[in-house]
Amino acid sequence: MSSMKYRLGLSSLVAASVFAVIWIGFASDWAWLSAIDNSLLRVTHDFGIKHPAWISFWVTVSALLGPPAFRFVAIPFIVVALVERRWRAACFLALTIGVSDDLSDAVKNISDRPRPPSALVAGTSTSFPSGHALSATVGVLALLTVCWSLIPKRLHTPSIVIGTVVVVTVGAARVLLNVHNPSDVVAGCALGYLYYLFCLAVVTLSPPWRAPLDQLALTRRRSRGAAPDREGSQNAASAPPSAK
């Protein structure tokens, strides 16, 4: 337990530090941060200008894997959770995927970082953090958490890989279109991870990496003749992606 709490605390501290450093960095006009952002944007901008089809492709990717898409995907999972009376799972999905876009808009309004002047497509809001990156991070983590016990064990690692590819692809699309600085995307992923952990704590839903500990607790309760609740059993049956 102490080891799990240590890893969880360390990862959240790293994410919070990354988010804070990037915010302070662009607000203070740190030269090294601007140099990294501008160098990557310059390369992707020059390539995109010469290849219109390239821009169209990444616009489509951004639309298919954007915040509305994750909310659409979450709806049937929420409905099934409600039908099966898995109240915490339903609340967790509604709070994570349903509210993450609002969180992004709120932080954007506070930070008020302009979009890169080299943007290849129009953006509808400010730049920091990337709402697409935030929503993708939260969406992937939330769906994996709720569905982990339903995924065959042999598919656990592929599921993590696919989820990671989705998040990276979304972030890359925003940079390739020059609608976000690379630092906006990194900050969006960091804030998304922090928000995911916050929702886990609020809903008191066991994260996948709690599975071995929950399984041990269930085994002890069963040995004493106590019947675990249905949702606890389903959460406990999941295996930890971070422990792989």
pLDDT at 212: 37
Per DSSP, the chain holds a count of helices (H) and strands (E) of: 10, 0
* 72 pLDDT above the threshold of 60: yes
pLDDT at 149: 84
The rounded percent of the chain whose pLDDT value lies above 70 is 82
pLDDT at 221: 56
Average pLDDT (112-126) is 89
Average pLDDT (39-43) is 93
At 148-184, the pLDDT tens digits run 888 898 999 999 999 999 999 999 999 999 999 999 9
pLDDT at 7: 81
Q: Which of 67-76, 117-126, 155-164, 215-224 has the lowest mean pLDDT?
A: 215-224
Task: State pTM to two decimals.
Answer: 0.81
* Residue with the two structure tokens 């609340």: 91
Average pLDDT (94-121) is 92
The rounded percent of the chain whose pLDDT value lies above 90 is 64
What is the count of structural domains for the chain? 1
Using CA atoms, how far apart are residues 45 and 32, in angstroms rounded to an integer? 20
Using CA atoms, how far apart are residues 223 and 25, in angstroms rounded to an integer? 55
Domain of 38 in residue numbering reads as 2-243
Return the DSSP state at 113: P
